[in-house]
Structure 1
Amino acid sequence: MVRPNNQLPENLPQLQNLIKRDPESYTDEFHTQYEHFLSLLEIFALNPSEENKSLDETVMFIAQVAQCYPQVCLQFPKHLTDLLRNSATVLDPAMRNCFVKALILLRNKNLVPALDILELFFHLLRCQDKNLRTFLQTHIITDIKNMNAKHKDMKLNSSLQNFMYGMLRDANPKAAKMSVDIMIDLYKKNIWNDTKTVNVIANVGCFSPITKVLVTSLKFFLGHDDEDEANSDSESENEVDLKGALMQNRVNKKTKKRQKQLQQIKKQAIKAQKKKKNAPAFNFSGIHLIHNPQGMAEALFKQLQSTNDRFEVKIMHLDVISRLIGIHELFLFGYYPYITRFLQPHQRLVTRVLQFAAQASHPLVPGDIIEPILKTIANNFITERNSSDVMAIGLNATREICMRCPLAMGEDLLQDLAMYKAYKEKSVMMAARSLISLYREQLPALLHKKDRGRPTEAQAERKVLAYGERDVQDTVLGAEALLKNSKTIDIDTDGDDSDSNDGEWVDVQHSDGEGAADSDDDDDNDDDDDDEEEEADGTDEEDDEDDGESDEGIASEGAELTEVEKKEKAKLKILNQKEAAQELALTRIFTDEDFKRINAANLKKTVTNARKRPLETERSDFVKLNNIEMIYKKRKHDKETRLETVQAGRQDRERFGWKDGRVNENCSKTNKEKRKTKNFGMLRHKARSKVKKSFRDKQMAMRKHLLHQKKMK
């Protein structure tokens, strides 16, 4: 290879290019540069606060070609790391950035162990250089993500996590804040989404003496529901309008720029279509992965009572504690009297406080603990001395609390609140009716008889649960609907036939005369079944003494026995249906059509003439603030009313626009009116008169005016 005829030691970019092409031919030149680097490094170590451009260029040159001479550059990373460890805070910012970039280049070429470099970068987070800290944060997250791209390196992750957990307790607030930000970012990217990371943030970050670390950790456990909704809204707003782009391209002039834009829009549309087809990823929020939620809730409540931070930080504490109590069904009885102090209509962020009270309610909390909160809301919000909006918010909050803990409401208080169903303001009336609808489903006995409404099949089947009782289902709800018009069912028969028919489908078809197959569909056949069962019961219970009874005695008791027996037979029929449905669920795999029939039957049970749709009473993990702030209020200036006023104003009007004051339309206009239609060039000389007069001009004009008045006298 022909060597260039120039001074290579002074032209490092050209030497770098030549070394990458042929490393063996330029070994001597590289050795020279490396010795030059060592000498410059010794000089720089004497005064590290000054910038040395020659060292900067040499370091970047060696970092670029270090993979060509790995044996020579074996100690090169150690020189840089030792300098950064010992003098990181006093180094010149430009030189510090140079050394960091050189180490990142070596890390990308796998010439430096990842653990050593990342530990060094965590130490550099203490430096008073915001740009450097941001750069290091981005690199740390990207490097850890790339290391776990193909498979997770558990050993490396464990070492880095242990080191980072120590950084959370660092006395430097900026280093601790950056560490918790990195951990949260890695959790969101599903890289460190294990319980170890979550519990370290819970046990260390949420109790940090540094306020910024504390707030960041609390925000992590508050979830990101609002952000997700905002992102979904922004995505819906930024949807690609492919049809509009195609129409524009068809109508407008064909240019290269527009063709390129159309191709980009097509690519975006294809990408958005693929994204919609992908299955959504569901991840547990961090608050579900806490090992000791009871201990954390108690410690946070103790910290809340002794803190002197701002009100917004206290609100975060209340939110996290309420979510812990509601999701994990904890017992923290001191929380409810504490939150009662903030339940005032004039309190700042009072709707959020009401939301926390609802989130902290669950069925295992005794009703005596939550009842003072309901009474406080009733006394402070649901009174006629307040506005209708305040009353509606109080009723909505009461409904959300009672939805999660229905036993907290007393009978007297509920009947008093139900009287607002006929209130003059529609927002209060609808909020009260929603509370009545809730207790129609949960505990109709607490309502007044006229407020219970017409009972439905679902209400009749629902069992009123006592405190701490669970409704455990042993079959698929609504599977009785599959017994109608069913021809086969897999059952075990008694006797010898059970062995022969074990595991086989047994026909239960019946002839028209028996009327047993269609007993669920036709009400007339129920009477036949009842008669047969009555005869069977009568034969079993007959004695010799009953043979002598007269027909008149039987006829007199027949009317009384039939009503009782009908109720008993109806109960037996329901029990038989449930047993058959349970047997069907155990011996048959339901299809999608079967589940559709089950859902339709369950929905039919909840629908009555009084309510067109079923009430949603399922308890979710989080209480939506919109459920409390939801006030029915007709807007005074919505689009329809504004259009009505506009149309009304146009009536009896001759023409639109400004009318001049001329009596005769054919007469000439004034010069002032004509000036509005003239070109500006014709009026440019008159525009100067609008310039503000000087004090001397005002004096002269005043003097002239006074002289004129004197002459007139």
Structure 2
Amino acid sequence: MVRPNNNQLPENLPQLQNLIKRDPESYSDEFHIQYQHFLSLLEVFALNPSEENKSLDDTVMFVAQVAQCYPAACELFPKHLADLLRNYATVLDPAMRNCFVKALILLRNKNLVPALDILELFFQLLRCPDKNLRTFLQSHIVTDIKNMNAKHKDMKLNSSLQNFMYSMLKDANPKAAKMSVDIMIELYKKNIWNDPKSVNVIATVGCFSKVTKVLVTSLKFFLGHDEEDEEPDTESENEVDLKGALLANRVSKKTKKGQKQLQKIKKQAVKAQKKKKNAPAFNFSGIHLVHNPQGMAEGLFKQLQATNERFEVKLMHLDVISRLIGIHELFLFGFYPYITRFLQPHQRQVTRVLQFAAQASHELVPGDIIEPILKTIANNFITERNSSDVMAIGLNATREICMRCPLAMGEDLLQDLAMYKTYKEKSVMMAARSLITLYREQLPALLHKKDRGRQTEAQAERKVRAYGEREVHDTVLGAEALLKDSKTIDIESDEDTDSNDGQWVNVAHSDGEGGGAEEDDDEDEEEDDENEEDDDDEDNSDEGEEEGDSNAEEDAASDEEAAKQKKEKKDVQILNQKEAAQELALTRIFTDEDFKRINAANLKKTVTNSRKRPLEQDRAEFVKLNSIEMIFKKRKHDKESRLETVQAGRQDRERFGWKDGRVNEHCSKTNSEKRKTKNFGMMRHKARSKVKKSFRDKQISLRKHLLHQKKMK
């Protein structure tokens, strides 16, 4: 009996592949035989490309595996596969199509195919009605482009691919366009294609696409949902897991599996620790890189007015438009009357609409344009016919709008809203007080005198800016705090310069100009001025009594002149101080400690006895939804918090519960007290007598009673 020879090389492709990789020269003839076989199968397959050919699949994968051993012979092999996919991509069998794609990826990994050719082909294959293939191609495209830009960015290749992507976004196939925009966004998030060109391709093509999925994906990209906030939580979980694993390994039974898991967790912890030490990478939001924000906002607004999409898509349009207006300080006056139509308490997601109105407000918008929005909010939300939550949300939205455009608020409307500071509901009261606090900082003149509060030093230094006016600083704000430690100026005072008593020292410039002495604390200066004024008033009154009424006018004139001289002297001192601070900023490099002292001095200016917390100087670019929805309200207690409150109330009491009034608590109890603790079986006969008789029992007892009386007679 002759055994079949299963080791024949022409038929056993895996064994031939192994041998060729070990010794390519010795098996060159066998390879050429297989390659000719591949060409013949290819010609046969071209006659009926929709039919699956298993032999062709095996031969294609074999040639792709050993193509690096015979580069000259396999020079046209990638072209044959690419032509097949380019011509018959939609009619090929899914299994064979996947085989050809994997073979090309294998050749690309061996650098046998140019990156641009293979990626352009894969972008075209995104049109195929095969979801698994599209997902596989998307992951490969992203990984391949990431690997090509790992060491240094290939600008020429990236530019060519971006131009090709630009045409793919306009493709008639919605699935290909959607997958293309997904690839661009993923590459942007991975800091590979984070240049303005990619962002503007999405802005000019994706945001105005007729395909709803492409449109929504592009708008979500500009809304920029940050994922960085979730990273600290994952790192902390890794630390907790490491501690738990170390404890479990110490107290539990030692096994090989446990040791492997412990080593794995240790590696993860070391990796997380290294990640912490790395310098953080800050990315610009895509909305900052738009070349023509005005044109984009106008185009989106025109598209919004003409669209028939669902309400969620309209909200995305409003969000992107409002962010463009707020960040780039654009003028789009038609946006504000449009958004006013949605400002109703019963409107779906009205808090987000209020958020968009606040985001679209900035200082360059005239107050007359935004004032109708404030009046609409006041008429529809801030009225007593609504609930307290609606009123508080309306006041919070008004505050956020006025924070970005203070000139939009009128004096009468502000004073009306300020009257809610004594409202019975705490949420409305706190919202009204936050609005008053804002205008105490911005425009205190619009408030009623009793609502302005005590003026802080920072408020006194702040100038009320007109519409369109910009505040330009010629020095570092608060640099006066460093004058007492400056070595660039001469110190005439005998005080110790290293002391932290908070007092200003006398300074003089080297060129002979005199510098005034002033104290650091303005309250001390005001007290000194008041004392001097009181002394002058007393002296003047004494002189007036001695000299008589004829000299009263002269005394008044001298008082005015003295006050004027004091004011001029104080202004000169402040001016000298500013000049010295400006010279100090120009001749000295400030250290971190200097800036800490400057920040502390600026913070001190914003705090008085009437205000315990500093004013908010930094305003975020985007309005947080929590700033509008945040209402101060007493929350309902759960069972645990109620029990804690009950126990806290019982601490100072001597006794609690039922008191029987006995003088000696160890004495015996009465029968009525003992009856309460007895078993019911012992008291059943007592309880039975208390039960009311039924009508039948009453008849029987009455009959017995009457019979008994009759017998007695």
Q: Same fold (TM over 0.5)?
A: yes
Q: Could you report, residue by residue, the CA deviation over 1:281-312 in whole angstroms, capped at 9, with x for unpaired residues?
A: 11111100111100110010000000000100
Q: 1:508 aligns with which of 478, 491, 504?
A: 491
Aligned to 2:68: 67
Aligned to 1:599: 599
Query: 5 Å matches for 1:546-561?
Result: 557-561=557-561
Q: CA deviation at 1:67?
A: 0.7
Aligned-partner SS, 2:82: helix
Aligned to 1:519: 517
Aligned to 2:136: 135
Q: CA deviation at 1:239?
A: 4.3
1:193 aligns with 2:194: yes
Cα distance in structure 1, aligned partners of 2:305 and 2:206: 18
Q: CA deviation at 1:645?
A: 7.9
Aligned to 1:419: 419
Aligned to 1:57: 58
Note closer, same or farther for the CA distance 1:553–1:410 as it changes in structure 2 (3 Å cut). Answer: closer
1:367–1:409 Cα contact (<8 Å) kept: yes
More displaced 10-residue stretch of structure 1: 438-447 or 567-576: 567-576
Query: 5 Å matches for 1:82-161?
Result: 82-161=83-162
Cα distance in structure 1, aligned partners of 2:107 and 2:150: 20
Aligned-partner SS, 2:10: helix
Aligned-partner SS, 1:460: helix
Q: CA deviation at 1:635?
A: 1.6
Aligned to 2:49: 48
Q: CA deviation at 1:552?
A: 11
2:491–2:506 Cα contact (<8 Å) kept: no
Q: CA deviation at 1:574?
A: 1.1
Q: Could you report, residue by residue, the CA deviation over 1:24-44 in whole angstroms, capped at 9, with x for unpaired residues?
A: 111111111111111111111
Q: CA deviation at 1:664?
A: 6.3
Q: Could you report, residue by residue, the CA deviation over 1:178-226 in whole angstroms, capped at 9, with x for unpaired residues?
A: 111111111111111111111111000100111111111111101123x
Q: Could you report, residue by residue, the CA deviation over 1:433-492 in whole angstroms, capped at 9, with x for unpaired residues?
A: 100000000000000000000001000000000000011111000011112x336325xx
Cα distance in structure 1, aligned partners of 2:645 and 2:564: 67
Aligned to 2:240: 240
Query: 5 Å matches for 1:547-586?
Result: 557-586=557-586
Query: 5 Å matches for 1:298-697?
Result: 298-483=298-483, 485-486=484-485, 488-490=487-489, 507-510=490-493, 516=506, 519-521=517-519, 557-638=557-638, 640-644=640-644, 663=680
Cα distance in structure 2, aligned partners of 1:273 and 1:664: 73
Q: Could you report, residue by residue, the CA deviation over 1:228-258 in whole angstroms, capped at 9, with x for unpaired residues?
A: 3345445545543433333333322333333
Aligned-partner SS, 2:26: helix
1:403–1:617 Cα contact (<8 Å) kept: no
Q: CA deviation at 1:94?
A: 0.3
Cα distance in structure 2, aligned partners of 1:266 and 1:401: 50
2:517–2:573 Cα contact (<8 Å) kept: no
1:294–1:330 Cα contact (<8 Å) kept: yes
Aligned to 2:512: none
Aligned to 1:547: none
Note closer, same or farther for the CA distance 1:472–1:649 as it changes in structure 2 (3 Å cut). Answer: closer
Q: Could you report, residue by residue, the CA deviation over 1:480-534 in whole angstroms, capped at 9, with x for unpaired residues?
A: 1112x336325xxxxxxxxxxxxxxxx333468xx94593249799999xx9xxx
Aligned-partner SS, 1:24: coil
2:82–2:121 Cα contact (<8 Å) kept: yes
Cα distance in structure 2, aligned partners of 1:163 and 1:57: 33
Aligned to 1:680: none
Q: Which amino acid aligns with 1:489?
A: T
Note closer, same or farther for the CA distance 1:235–1:419 as it changes in structure 2 (3 Å cut). Answer: farther
Cα distance in structure 2, aligned partners of 1:148 and 1:325: 35
More displaced 10-residue stretch of structure 1: 622-631 or 641-650: 641-650
Note closer, same or farther for the CA distance 1:424–1:71 as it changes in structure 2 (3 Å cut). Answer: same
Note closer, same or farther for the CA distance 1:556–1:174 as it changes in structure 2 (3 Å cut). Answer: closer
Q: Which amino acid aligns with 1:366?
A: P
Q: Could you report, residue by residue, the CA deviation over 1:28-87 in whole angstroms, capped at 9, with x for unpaired residues?
A: 111111111111111111111111111100000000001111111111111111111111
Q: CA deviation at 1:586?
A: 0.6
Cα distance in structure 2, aligned partners of 1:662 and 1:114: 93
2:519–2:525 Cα contact (<8 Å) kept: no
Q: Which amino acid aligns with 2:115?
A: A
Cα distance in structure 2, aligned partners of 1:58 and 1:606: 79
Q: CA deviation at 1:640?
A: 4.9
Aligned-partner SS, 1:436: helix
1:240–1:265 Cα contact (<8 Å) kept: no
Cα distance in structure 2, aligned partners of 1:186 and 1:428: 47
Q: Which amino acid aligns with 1:471?
A: E
Query: TM-score, normalising length from structure 1?
Result: 0.82
Aligned to 2:670: none
Q: CA deviation at 1:265?
A: 2.5
Cα distance in structure 1, aligned partners of 2:18 and 2:337: 74
More displaced 10-residue stretch of structure 1: 618-627 or 515-524: 515-524
1:396–1:628 Cα contact (<8 Å) kept: yes
Cα distance in structure 1, aligned partners of 2:329 and 2:494: 55
Q: Could you report, residue by residue, the CA deviation over 1:324-372 in whole angstroms, capped at 9, with x for unpaired residues?
A: 0000000000000000001111111111100000000000000000000
1:77–1:103 Cα contact (<8 Å) kept: yes
Note closer, same or farther for the CA distance 1:19–1:203 as it changes in structure 2 (3 Å cut). Answer: same
Aligned to 2:537: none
Aligned-partner SS, 2:331: coil
2:89–2:128 Cα contact (<8 Å) kept: yes
Cα distance in structure 1, aligned partners of 2:632 and 2:525: 48
Note closer, same or farther for the CA distance 1:58–1:664 as it changes in structure 2 (3 Å cut). Answer: farther
Q: Which amino acid aligns with 2:518?
A: D
Note closer, same or farther for the CA distance 1:552–1:166 as it changes in structure 2 (3 Å cut). Answer: closer
Cα distance in structure 2, aligned partners of 1:307 and 1:439: 39
Q: Which amino acid aligns with 1:520?
A: E
Q: How many residues align?
A: 615
Aligned-partner SS, 2:240: coil
Cα distance in structure 2, aligned partners of 1:131 and 1:397: 47
Q: Could you report, residue by residue, the CA deviation over 1:637-688 in whole angstroms, capped at 9, with x for unpaired residues?
A: 34653434886999969xxxxxxx97469xxxxxxxxxxxxxxxxxxxxxxx
Cα distance in structure 1, aligned partners of 2:577 and 2:39: 91
Cα distance in structure 2, aligned partners of 1:325 and 1:42: 61
1:487–1:509 Cα contact (<8 Å) kept: no
Cα distance in structure 1, aligned partners of 2:46 and 2:65: 23
Aligned-partner SS, 1:417: helix
Q: Could you report, residue by residue, the CA deviation over 1:250-286 in whole angstroms, capped at 9, with x for unpaired residues?
A: 3223333333332223222222222222222111111
1:11 aligns with 2:9: no
Cα distance in structure 1, aligned partners of 2:338 and 2:551: 74
User: Percent identity, aligned pairs only?
Assistant: 83
Q: CA deviation at 1:573?
A: 1.2
Query: 5 Å matches for 1:186-265?
Result: 186-225=187-226, 227-237=227-237, 239-265=239-265
Cα distance in structure 2, aligned partners of 1:626 and 1:480: 38
Note closer, same or farther for the CA distance 1:136–1:662 as it changes in structure 2 (3 Å cut). Answer: farther
Q: Could you report, residue by residue, the CA deviation over 1:601-648 in whole angstroms, capped at 9, with x for unpaired residues?
A: 111110011211112143321111111111112221346534348869
Cα distance in structure 2, aligned partners of 1:101 and 1:369: 60
Note closer, same or farther for the CA distance 1:30–1:241 as it changes in structure 2 (3 Å cut). Answer: closer
